[in-house]
Amino acid sequence: KLFWHNIVSGKNPSSIEVIRSPIKNSSLFLGFGLVHMFGNRLTISGDINSRLLGRAQGFYSQTGQDEMALLMAQNFAFLEGKYNGSTITVLGRNPILNAIRELPIVGVSGIFRFARGYVQLRTHNFDLNTLDATVEYKVYVLHYD
Ligand SMILES: *[C@@H]1O[C@H](CO)[C@@H](O)[C@H](O)[C@H]1NC(C)=O
Ligand SMILES: *[C@@H]1O[C@H](CO)[C@@H](O)[C@H](O)[C@H]1NC(C)=O
C-alpha cells in the first residue's frame, strides 16, 4: 500500500499543467484535453513527509468529454530496500469520482520481471481549495522472487 501525492499548488508543485484544455465545461473541474505531467512522491502513509518509498513519474489527461475520466500513464520508480531501482508501469482509465478505481500494471522491471498485476486507487484526501490530492494505491503484483 502506497500513498500518491499530487501537489498542484504552492511554489513546488509536483504536478503541472503542460497542456491546457481549450474547452470550457463548468460541470467538469478538469477540462477535456488537459494534460498534467507529474513526479509525485510515493510514501508509506497519508502524510506527504512520511517515508519515501518511490516516485510516480508520468502524466494524466482528462479524456472524458462529459464525465471525469482520466487516462493515466505512469512509472513507479521504487527506492526502498530490495525494490530499489525496480519499476512498474501503470496505464489505464481513472474515473476519479468513483470510490475505487482499478488500473492495470502493463509493464515491470527489475525484481518484478515477468510479474502481472493491477492497482486499486481510493482518494484519501482532496483539498477543494488547493486541489492537491492524496490517493491510496493498493498494488497487487504477482512476481517470482
Ligand atoms: C459538459 O458536461 C456535461 C456533463 O457533465 C454534459 O452533459 C455536457 O454535454 C458537456 N458540455 C460540453 C460542451 O461538452
Ligand atoms: C538505491 O540505489 C541507488 C543507486 O544504486 C543508491 O544510490 C541508493 O543509496 C539506494 N537507496 C537505498 C535506500 O538503498
DSSP 38-88: EEEEEESSSSTTS-EEEEEEEEEEE--SSS--EEEEEEEEE-SGGGTT-EE
Indicate which ligand has the atom closest to the C-alpha of 54: 2
> Taking residues 1-13, what's their average pLDDT?
97
Q: State whether the beta carbon of 22 lies less than 6 angstroms from ligand 1.
A: no
Residues in the chain: 145
Indicate the average pLDDT of the chain.
Answer: 95
The whole-number pLDDT of residue 93 equals 98
> Taking residues 89-101, what's their average pLDDT?
97
Instruction: Compute the distance from residue 108 Cα to the ligand 1 centre, in Å.
Output: 37
pTM of the model: 0.90
CATH superfamily, domain at 2-142: Allene oxide cyclase-like (2.40.480.10)
Q: State whether the beta carbon of 50 lies less than 6 angstroms from ligand 1.
A: no
Asked if the model's pLDDT at residue 52 lies above 70, the reply is yes
Closest atom of ligand 2 relative to the 80 alpha carbon: 13
Asked if the model's pLDDT at residue 47 lies above 80, the reply is yes
Q: State whether the beta carbon of 66 lies less than 6 angstroms from ligand 1.
A: yes
Indicate which ligand has the atom closest to the C-alpha of 69: 1
